[in-house]
Structures are given as C-alpha cells and as structure tokens.
Structure 1
Amino acid sequence: MAVRASLACFPSDPALHAACGMPWGVAITPFSATDERGFPPATGAEGHLLPRCQSCFAYFNLLCPLDRWSWNCAICGAENDLSADAAARYARDGGHDPPEMRSAFVDLLLPGEEGEAAAAAAPTPVYVAAIDLSSSEEFLELVKSALQAALEALLPGSLFGLLTFSSKIGLYDVQGPIPIVKNVFIPPDSDGALQVDLEDIMPLCSFLAPIDSCKDRITEALETIKPMSSWEVAANAHVGQDHVLHHIRGFGVALDVLINYLSSEYGNAFELARIFAFLSGPPNYGAGQLDINEDQNSGKARGADHILLQDQTSFYRNLATSAVQAGVCVDLFAITNEYTDLTSLKVLSVESGGSLFLYSSTDESTLPQDIYKMLSRPYAFGCVMRLRTSSQFKIADSVNTLRDM
C-alpha cells in the first residue's frame, strides 16, 4: 500500500489548515507493490501473531513505543500488555526482528487453506456483456471486436454471459451445439419488472458459459447479433412518435433484471460479477428512461459553463445500491455523439466499483484496447479496507470506487 499526502507538511492544527486555504488529504493505493518511497513491503506469514490494541483495535507497528512487557498504541495512545510469546518475539536482536519491527509497510499473511483446497474454494469470476441493439452496424462491429479482446484477457475458468437489449431483452445460451437466444419484451410502462423472470426464461447455469470450452460458440453468438431492424421500430409505434424517431433503448429495465438475475447465485457461484454495458445513446424506454428533448438539451448546453448538472432520476443510484448488494460491478461504455445524460448514468458504474468510458465516434474509438487493458490489470474483490487515524485527525470524506461488498 502506498500513502501519498497532497502537501509535503501536515497542518499542525485545524485553524492552520483552515487559514492556509489549501486542500489537504492523502491518496491511498491498496495492493501497491511499493510504498510512496518506492520500497517493497516487509513480508511474513505470521499475521495472526500481530498484537492489537485493546482500546481501538489498531495493529502493533513500527511507530508504537515498545517496552519489555507492554506497548503503546500509536493511534489512541493506550497502553497494552504483551504476552510472554509476544515479548519474546519483540526482544530486539538486530537482523532477526519480525517484519512489523523492520518496516512501517508490511504484508503479512493469515493462515488459511493451501494447495488444491484453496484452489477449489477460489470464487469463479463472472462476466456479462449487455449490448444495445438500438444502434448501428458500426457500433456492433466495434463492440464485437472489444468482446473478442475481452475473451482473450479473461482468466481460465471464468464464466461469460451474453445479453442484448432494445425494446426486448435477449438471453444467449452458448453451451449447446449452436447458440440459442430467448427474448422477452419490455412493457413500455414497465416499472422494472418483466412479465416473467429471467430465471424462468433461461436458468442462470445455462446463461453463464465457461469460456474454456465455449469461447468458439461465444464468438459464433456474437456474429449473429444484428441491430434492431426497421420493422421492429415500426411495430413499437404505439409507444409514441418520439420512440419511433429514436431507437428504443430499455437500458434501465435490462440492467435491473440482469442484476437481480445474477444476485440469486451471489456467494455461491461467484463472489463478484462484472457487467460490461455497451450503450449507443440515452435510455428512452421503460424504467430508467431519461428526458432528452431538444429544449432541455439546448438549455443544458447554454448553461454548461455555469451549472453543475444534477441526476434526472434516482433510478440508477438505487440500481447501483442493488448491484453492490448483489456483488455486481458495472462498467459502462458509451459510444455516442448525442446527449446521453451521463450525469444520471455514471452513478451506476462509479458507485458499484466499475468504470465509465465515453467515445464520441466508432471511427476513433479505442474500445478494444481499453477493455483489454482494463481486464489485464490486477484488481481485488471481497476485501476489507480499514483506515485509522490518530485522534488529531478524522476522515472527513472520501473519493473512491471502493464499496462495502
């Protein structure tokens, strides 16, 4: 872990901090290979032996004053007794000091399952692509290229699902001899609930396919995906002229039911699922639709330099909360040059621990490279991060993508 302060010196008191007018904080990088000085951590396999403060439960570290049979907490100042074993462990003898006595940056392991038992208990990574069919051929070709790159970056043993959305939701089963898609229509006045559950349309075990044995059929399924045809748009003319002129995009309902679909196996089949949501324009159908009329767009454009845009709806913020509870993070890829109201949509990705990418055109998009690099980077889940400060400081706010998962 690396901890970098925004200023070279800490303010000595709150009054000085307020008077200087400078933002003060720290940037924390969990799982960093080196600390802020570039030094690697001192390592060990005896994390269970590390003493903890009886008052604030902070861990013993190099900054704690140490006596023969006691130590003082560097956070709260409380005095704590040392057991005979701990006193012997911390008897200073030069080069044989334990890791926590050699460095303030330590990486200690807790005893646990090893070997084949640990491998068997490891959670299976789950990835689902949600593709907007209310789009162009160029958009879909770009998304297909990006998903081919993603399949190359995914770890062996991963599970992959494929979903499409427009005025209907399509689920793909790629585990048979040929890919099969099953569709369910989204009611125009939908409140987020379909007439039938996705589990009844296709069991989750059929939807999530192992990439080791099904990569070729996933590729075949991608090649069958086509944009929403003109006759489908005409068939939905009853929902209003605006939806005939604009492609029908039931994004909110699709993500809502997909998250609920995955939540049934959270903690059993997987510990974290990632949804890659590909969007070619603003959601304009069913629950979560956004107001994109020209008057509002021009008004926002005129005041863009002076007005901080607010969420149009709390739908996506509530959906992000549901995603976190279901162990799902959403990466949103918007490839569009029209007003899409990312102010309302971004909370779904940011607050679920995902990322937001915006591309103004398909011609200049680096989507395949970006998704490959994103999946090639190390990331962690199912973790607990605790931040403790001395009594002179308190955590006022945080800006991050870490959530209680």
Structure 2
Amino acid sequence: MAALHFTAPCPADVKLQDACGVPLGLVAQPLAASHGSGGTAFPAAACWASDLARCARCHAYINALCEVDDESWACALCGCSNDFSSATSLRRYYGLSDERRAALPELAAPAVEALCPLVAADPDEGVEEVLALEAQPAVLALVDCCCSEEGMELVRSALAAAVEALPPAARFGLVSFGSKMSLHPTAGGHGDVLDIPLAGAEGGRASLQDAAPLGRMLARVGSSKAAILAAIEGLEAETLVGGGRERALGDALRAVLRWVAVGAAAAAAGGLAEQRGGGGEEGEEGGGGGLPGAHSFPGMRLLLFLAGPPNCGAGAVVARKPSPAEEAAAAAAAAAAAETAARELAALTLDPQFPELSAWNDAVARTVADVQRPAIEAAAAAAAAAGDLSHAAPPGVKPGELAVNLAASEFYAEAGAAAAALGLVVDLFAACPHWLGLDLIEPLVSASGGIMTLYRSLDAAALPQDVYKSVAQLRALACLLRLRCSPELELQGPHGRLVADSEHPDLFRLPACSTQDAFSFDLDRSSAKLACAAPAVQLVLQYSVLLPAAGEGGAPGDGSRFVLQRRMRVLTAALPLAHTPEQLLAGCDAEALATLVVHKALATAAAQGPGEARKMVADWLALLAAAAAEARGGGRGEADASLADVQALHHLPHLLFALLRSPLLQARASAAGGREGTAAGAVPAAWRHPDAAAVLRSLLRVLPPDELSVAVCPQLSSWAGPEEVAVMQHSLSEAALSVGEQPLWVLDSFSQLVVLCMGGTPAPPADSLLLRTLAGIRASRRCTPEVLILHEGQDDTSPVDAWLLEDAVGPSAGGGGGQQPDWPSFVDFLNAATRAAQRLLPDAAK
C-alpha cells in the first residue's frame, strides 16, 4: 500500500521529545500500490482533484480522518470546521446518506487518486484547458563500445531484454560511443550505421539531427522489432588504439541531449501520424479517444551503459597532471599575490583602537594557501579512492600522468539538469572491476530521476534482468510534493532527492519517481496544543504519468496507445500520541528510525566529514540508551546500549554498527580493497570496489525502510529445513552460526543472497519455500541480487564470512584523525556506547 512510516509516536509535549532523544520523522513511499488498487501503483482515478473539498484554514484535502455530517466537516489536521458552501461541495457531499458518504473514496481510504488537467485554462492568456494527451513511450540506449567482447555480449542481452519489456507503441533508438559516435538504424530500410566524429574544433558539438533526424532513428517496437534486434546484434566493441581507449562520454551525452531537444517534437508528431494513419502494423484509425498529441516523448528513458571511466573530452573524470613547470609557475604567482597583498596592507594606517587589525598582516600571507587547501585535500582523497588509473589512460598518455578531475562533477550536474528539463530520465548501468568515477557522474542520474547500478564482475551481473525491470516500470514525471502537518508538528526539511521550491514553503520538486522510491522528512514537536484527537500529516503528490489507453468498454489497453495524464495522490495518516517515555520508545518503528538516522549521518559526512558523522551516530546511541534507562527509572547501572529491554529497537544498535563499518562513513577507501585500520580480507567483496560507496550512497537516497535496512546491515536468517524458517534475524557473528545449529542459513546482503548448507545438508529443492522466497526477493528489488548456494567444508564460504561484521577484525576505520575511538568488534562498540550513556545519567534513580 502507499506507505507513510513514522519513526515514533508523537510526544505529548516538547519536554518528552527532548528527554527521549528519538528523532521524529516520516518516511513516505507515495507511489506504492494502495488498498483497493488491485496491486497496481496507478489505479483508476476516483474523481477530479477540483471535486475534493479543502479546509479553509490550512488548505488540506478532506480525508477519511475527518468528522463529516450532512452540512459540514472538521479538518483532521487543524480542527477547523468547514461547510459545504461551494457548488462542487454541494454536489458531491451535501445531503448524502451516511452510507453513501462513507463510500466516497476520499472518505473511505487513507489514499485517494484524483485527476488534474495537464494544462490549466487561462482565459487572460488565451490558453485552453488540456485534460490529457496521446503520447508514446520511448527508450534511447547509449552504449559504451570501449569494452571487451564479453561485456558487449552482456549489453546485447540487456538491450534485447529492454525491447521485450516495451509495448508495441513504444519507440526504441540505439547510439554507441567511444572515440566517435555511431547511430544504429533500428527501422528496416534506413541504411547503414552512421559514424560521427566527436573530437573537433567545437568540442564535439556535431549535430546528430543533421546527420539523422531523431524520428528516423526511433523505431516503433510493434512494427520494427526484428530490425531493432538486428541492430542490437550488430553492436561491436571498439578496438584498442595505442594501448588505451578513448571514452568521450561527456561529448556523446551533450550531443544526445541536443538531439532530443531539437528533434523530439518532430519525431513525436511523425510517430503519432504514422500510428493513427495506418502506417503501423495495426492500421487503426483514430484511437486514443481523439486526444491531441504530445509535442515530445514524456518520460523518455536514456539507458546509459558504461564500461570504464570517461577519459577524454567534456566530462572526463581524469585529466593530465600539470607539469612541474606549470606547478612552479602557479606557486610563484600565488606567492607574488600574497606578497603584494601584504605590502598594500602594511601601507595602510591602522587604527590603534582596533589592535586585532594588526593580525591581518600575518594572516594575508596564508590566505592563498587556506583557499587552496580544501581543493588539494579533495584531490588527494579522490586519488586515494581511485587508486591505479592505468585502465583509464587514453591512447598516448601514461597512467602516471593522470589525476582525478573533480570538475567533472559540475558537468554532469548540468547535464542532469538539462535532461530533467527535457523530461529525460537517465538510468546508468556500469560494469567494471576498477574505478569509474561514479561519484562524479552520479549527479547526472539523481538530477534526472534515474537509478545507478554497478556490477563488479561480468560473470555475476544480472544486467538483462535489471534493464528489463527499469524499462517495464512506470514512473511518475514532473512531480510536485507538499507535506502538510497539524499545528503540533513542524516540518524541518526533507532527505533524498527532493528539491525545495524557492517560492512556496513545504513544496518540493522531483523530476521522476518510481513506485519503489521513498523520501524522508524531519519533523519536530511544536509547543502548540492538540487541535484534534491526534496529530496528522497529509502528503499530496501531483505528477504526470504515461499509461496504456483503455480499450472498448473500459477494458485494459493492449499497449498500442498511451495517454499522458496529470494526477494527484493524497495520503493522510494520524500519529499515535505518547505520554510517557515507555510509550514513545515502545512505539518506535526501527526501520523508519534507521532510515532517518542513515540520512542524517550521510548529510553530516558530506558537510563535516566522516569522522563527525561517526561521532554523531555513536553519541546518538548513547543518548538513546540513557533515555531508555531513565524510562525504566534506573540510574547509571541500568544503562545498556544494546537496547535489549526495548523490543522495538533491539536491532537498531546492530544496524548502526554496520553503518559505521560500511564504506559510507570511512575517511578514505582505496581500489586495493582495504580501509584504513581494517584488514582487507575482512572487507566484503561488495565494499571493495572503489565506487561502492558512491553507488550505495545514491541508492540509499531513494530506498524504502525495509530495503535500506538490508542494504546497510545484511540479514542473516536460519532455516530448520527448506520449508521452515527457524529465526529470521541473527547477529552477524560467528557465534550465531555456531550456536544456531541449523542445517540451512541464508544471508541477504542486498546484492547477494547466499544459502549456506551446513554439515552435509543437501541444497534446497527448486520448488521449496526457501528458494521461492529468494525468487520473490530477486523479482521485487530494482537491482537483482545474485544467488549463491554453498556447502560447508566443500565451497569457499567467504561470501558469508566476510559479512560477519560484528566479530573482531582489528580496529575499524577512524574517520577523524584520532577524534574517534576504535571499535574492533560490536561488543566493544556497545561497551563504549554504554559507558557514554552512563556518563549522562545520575548515580542512582531519582
């Protein structure tokens, strides 16, 4: 169902919230399938948005929590009494029987779906109202050809899967790049592959529209499927030149964005004319209810396949290091500037009443170095993370001459903003065992509303499955989100990809949103008294979506016609009230709370460094343990950071320790796989990749609580047999495996599902509950996890052993240059947090 998860009950007053130390927040997954929708994320709209009554005071929509009678209704958020005085309200609500009124969708369920006009009428400007448009789904694949033949074969399989996921009305195009761009005709009879050079006087600004109009290169799947598959099979890997490959991603991306901007309108108009006029294989007349056609391809997908770091042209993540002469010249210029500034300052007459001004003379010489220091430190950290750059060297360049180009991040942020403005959603699929610079490329994905997936090995890559899911999944476009709260609650800000509107408070924008995406909000208890029986929040999401047009008599469409609609989803939920610390702690949602803490830790790490983020996590656990001890009426001796006595939160310390051990909060990582102070052999394979932290960080920004918890802290479960679960959640330790004495164990590390068969236990049958459960997990996740079945004593069990994070493996990475204590094991972490909690408590209970 459409989910609103609160981290905890609402405290009865501010004093209770401060005493317990539990952050109040909300995690929303607004496009999850709702009740009564038949499992679909986009059910039929119940009414027009303009039909819904709204509160005169806070403007919230009428909902199932409101008290409604024949003539009026009381707002569940602010308590305001509203009448049914408007014409719309009179028609919809006034004079209905209680049974008929209770059956109205907005009063019967916590979520309601309503229609909005795509374009609102504006008589003053001569703009007519547009209710819907006929449009076509479109997918454009941009393939990196600088890869091995094995890698190219995997991409061919993934593109074939994408074509299978598309409906007959969809359009598909294929472009490859390396040192040049190639346009691959996907419609029969349109000629050979067109090669277009990227390097040139204008930096690769060749016009693809002049070479081949976009409409000619986007073939309709229903009529050109065979030609599309033939074009995919014709993809070839680019050969090595001079010991390296040129991968001009930035230039190719810029050319594609300009191609779409110039050619989308003509291509969409031509495609709809062909579809309506009998040019397609259906030969149908009209269709789509006579709707006008869209002037572009709304929500067009750009599938970007990357096999290595971009190393030339715009957006290159590596660049040549400055020569010693250039460095010496820069240092001399900086010294001369500092000397000139000092001389000019010394000539000033300083007021003796302000002796602190004399410090300027000493400080000015350090100004240039102070300004340059953050950039120097960032470059050093990036170089440490990238490690060996030999795989990134273009032809004629030695690896030792390369450095990480941090300025590339700005290019991809601008490219992502341009893609979002064009309604283009970029999904990035990267397959490389070495550094690719994904932390620099990530803004392209997040700014456009796409996803980023990394495969460490071609052997285990589920690329075809993931591409199929990406293409088949409907996404909401051009989203506007508003969160309204009762007066007792204050909205502090969002986490994730939401961007605050510059003019309207509590309004957020999002270029695209999938049914799996979730967003978090910080809330705070205000000093206001309760306006209603319980505090409530209302989330309103307005979005556009491209849906199959209904057939005759409202039957489900066959995918030959699509309609672009504007919709509004209204979700309303009430928070339970907590009057005592015991009630507040017992009512916590551990997964939602963990989601909020992870977002806060990542924000702290980005702003103040990993060391401060690690300190924040440890300090917060100590505060929570102290509050739990006080809730039990205990003193220092009652503090316990394991939170064993708080059933709702007993797993939270395990997740926090896994977060501290993860690459997310490490000061630096290296391509060699080790982390500062940590034995390399103890690091899980999924964390050894130099880009692992960047990909995980990007993914966590949109994961719902149940998936985020597993992505941060793997789940270890035991099975009494293939058909019976023994314990769903064990600690990640060798002791758990030894004491459990179960024949089957399952480790879910989000990217892998490992079945460990103990003591000669045979592998579970294919139709067993265990493997059916794993199949369900693989089908539901946006990134398909690999399944491994291992036998104790016969196979290498390191895929399980490396995730036993709570065992002692040596000091964990310190993030702050000595500011953070070492926690060699989970027990050490708990002991340190318990001691910190004890220092916050009095000697005895009051």
Shorter-chain TM-score bucket reads 0.7 to 0.9
- The alignment partner of 1:5 has SS state of strand
CA–CA separation in structure 2 for the residues paired with 1:285 and 1:357: 23
Q: Within the alignment, does 1:279 sit opposite 2:317 as a pair? A: no
1:393 and 2:490 correspond: yes
Which residue in the other structure is 1:306 paired with? none
- Distance change in 2, residues 1:186/1:39 (3 Å): closer
The residue that corresponds to 2:216 in the other structure is 206
Equivalent position of 2:759 in the other structure: none
Amino acid aligned to 2:259: Y
Kindly state the Cα deviation for residue 60 of structure 1 after the two structures are TM-superposed: 1.7
Matched residue type, 2:10: F
1:283-322 correspondence runs (5 A):
283-291=310-318, 299-300=384-385, 313-322=409-418
Cα distance, 1:20 vs. partner? 3.9
Mapped contact 1:50–1:59 kept (Cα < 8 A): yes
Among candidates 218, 236, 250, match of residue 228 of structure 2: 218
**Would the alpha carbon gap of residues 13 and 130 (structure 1) be closer, same or farther in structure 2, given more than 3 Å must change?**
farther
Give CA-to-partner distance per residue, 1:198-230, whole Å, 9 cap, x none. Answer: 111111111111111111111111222212124
Tell me the residue number matched to 2:105.
Answer: 99
Which residue number in structure 1 is paired with residue 469 of structure 2? 373
In the aligned structure 2, how far is the partner of 1:261 from the partner of 1:42?
Answer: 35
Instruction: Report if aligned partners of 2:301, 2:426 keep a CA contact under 8 Å in 1.
Output: yes
**Matching residue of 1:126:** 138
The alpha-carbon distance between structure 1 residues 13 and 49, as it changes in their structure 2 partners (threshold 3 A), is: same
CA distance in 1, matches of 2:308, 2:171: 28
Equivalent-residue separation in structure 1 for 2:68 and 2:12 (angstroms): 25
- Contact 2:183 2:194 (C-alpha < 8 Å) held by counterparts: yes
1:255 to 248, 253, 256: 253
Q: Which amino acid aligns with 1:104?
A: P
Which one has the bigger strand percentage?
Answer: 2
Residue 358 of structure 1 deviates from its aligned partner by 0.5
TM-fit CA distance, 1:119: 12
Deviation at 1:11, TM superposition (A): 3.8
Closer, same or farther: CA 3–16 of 1 in aligned 2, 3 Å = farther
Partner of 2:448, secondary structure, is coil
Measure, in 1, the Cα distance between the counterparts of 2:184 and 2:99: 60
Question: 1:19 and 1:245 mapped to 2: Cα distance?
Answer: 64
Tell me the CA shift for residue 288 of structure 1: 0.3
- Give the distance between the partners of 1:150 and 1:347, measured in 2 at CA: 24
Question: Do the aligned partners of 1:166 and 1:250 also contact (CA within 8 Å) in 2?
Answer: yes
Q: Is the 8 A contact 2:432 2:456 kept in 1?
A: yes
Distance 1:137 1:181 in 2: 19
Instruction: Name 1:32's counterpart in structure 2.
Output: 32
Q: Is the 8 A contact 1:310 1:344 kept in 2?
A: yes
Report the residue type matching 2:307 in the other structure: S
Please show how residues 148-167 of structure 1 align to structure 2 within 5 Å: 148-167=160-179
CA–CA distance in structure 2, aligned partners of residues 163 and 213 of structure 1: 20
Which amino acid is the alignment partner of residue 64 of structure 2?
L
Find the counterpart in structure 2 of residue 58 from structure 1.
Answer: 60
1:330-369 matches, within 5 Å, as: 330-369=426-465
2:407, 2:304 → 1: CA distance? 19
Alignment of 1:67-146 (within 5 A): 69-83=71-85, 86=89, 89-91=93-95, 93-97=97-101, 98-109=104-115, 121-146=133-158
Whole-Å Cα distance in 2 between the matches of residues 27 and 8 of structure 1?
A: 11
**CA–CA distance in structure 2, aligned partners of residues 257 and 14 of structure 1:** 55
Relative to structure 2, which stretch is displaced further, 218-227 or 263-272? 263-272
User: Relative to structure 1, is the Cα distance of residues 92 and 20 closer, same or farther in structure 2, using a 3 angstrom cutoff?
Assistant: farther
The alpha-carbon deviation at position 79 of structure 1 amounts to 4.6
Contact 1:3 1:26 (C-alpha < 8 Å) held by counterparts: no
Distance in 1 separating the partners of 2:117 and 2:418: 33
Do 2:8 and 2:24's aligned partners in 1 also have CA atoms closer than 8 Å?
no
Cα distance in 2, alignment partners of residues 284 and 15 from structure 1: 56
Q: Distance in 2 between matches of 1:255 and 1:246?
A: 21
Tell me, what secondary structure is at the counterpart of 1:364?
coil
2:302 alignment partner AA: I
Letter in 1 for 2:25: G
Identity of aligned residues (%): 34
Task: Tell me if the contact between 1:170 and 1:181 (Cα under 8 Å) persists in the aligned partners.
Answer: yes
Deviates more, 1:67-76 or 1:246-255: 67-76
Q: For 2:316 and 2:14, how far apart are their aligned partners in 1?
A: 45
For residues 283 and 84 of structure 1, what CA distance do their matches in structure 2 show?
59
Separation in structure 2 between the aligned mates of residue 71 and residue 119 of structure 1, nearest angstrom: 30
Shift of 1:369: 1.3
Q: Which moved further from structure 2: 172-181 or 339-348? A: 172-181
Indicate which of 45, 48, 51 corresponds to 1:49: 51
1:254 aligns to what SS in structure 2? helix
Residue 94 of structure 1: how far off its partner (Å): 2.9
Q: For the Cα contact (< 8 Å) 2:406–2:440, is it kept in 1?
A: yes
Q: CA deviation at 1:177?
A: 2.3
**Separation (CA, whole Å) in 2 of partners of 1:19 and 1:396:** 22
Name stretches of at least 5 consecutive residues in structure 1 with no aligned partner.
113-117, 234-243, 303-308
Residues 126 and 270 of structure 1 are in contact (CA less than 8 Å); yes or no, is this contact kept in structure 2? Answer: yes
Which residue of structure 1 lines up, in the alignment, with residue 198 of structure 2? Answer: 186
Equivalent position SS for 2:209: helix
What's the offset of the Cα at 1:176?
Answer: 3.6
SS at match of 2:27: strand
The CA deviation at 1:120 is: 9.3
Matching residue of 1:240:
none
Paired with 1:15 and 1:188, the residues of 2 have a C-alpha distance of: 66
Structure 1 counterpart SS, 2:139: strand
CA offset at residue 332 of structure 1?
0.3
Q: Determine helix, strand or coil for the equivalent of 2:141.
A: strand
**Mean CA deviation greater in 342-351 or 168-177:** 168-177
Residues in 2 aligned to 1:345 and 1:170: alpha-carbon distance in whole angstroms: 22
Cα 1:186–1:9 shift into 2, 3 Å: same
**Cα distance 1:288–1:52, how it changes in 2: closer, same or farther (>3 A)?**
same
Shift of 1:373: 2.4
Q: 1:33 to 1:172 in 2, by over 3 A?
A: same
The answer on whether the counterparts of 2:409 and 2:441 sit within 8 Å (CA) in structure 1 is no
Stretch moving more, 43-52 or 323-332: 43-52
Deviation at 1:111, TM superposition (A): 8.8
Secondary structure at the aligned position of 1:333 is classed as strand
Q: Name the SS of the counterpart of 1:268 in structure 2.
A: coil
Cα displacement string for residues 151-183 of structure 1 (whole angstroms, at most 9, x for unaligned residues): 101122001111011111111223242652212
Work out the CA distance in 2 between the residues paired with 1:288 and 1:19.
50
Contact persistence 1:173–1:181 (CA under 8 A): yes
The CA distance in 1 between the partners of 2:17 and 2:430, in whole Å, is 40
Q: Cα–Cα, structure 1 residues 184 and 318, in superposed 2: closer, same or farther, change >3 Å?
A: same
- Given that 2:304 and 2:428 are in contact with CA atoms closer than 8 Å, whether structure 1 keeps it comes out as yes
Higher helix share: 2
Q: Compared with structure 1, are the counterparts of its residues 83 and 274 closer, same or farther at alpha carbon in structure 2 (3 Å cutoff)?
A: same
How far apart are the structure 1 equivalents of 2:51 and 2:44?
15
| Contact 2:146-2:238 at 8 Å conserved across structures | yes
Do the aligned partners of 1:179 and 1:221 also contact (CA within 8 Å) in 2? no
Asked if the contact 2:428/2:452 (under 8 Å) is kept, the reply is: yes
Larger Rg: 1 or 2?
2
* Partner of residue 237, structure 1: none
TM-score for the superposition, normalised by structure 2: 0.41
Q: Is the 8 A contact 2:315 2:408 kept in 1?
A: no
One-letter code aligned to 1:344: L
Q: Residues of 2 paired with 1:360 and 1:278: CA distance? A: 14
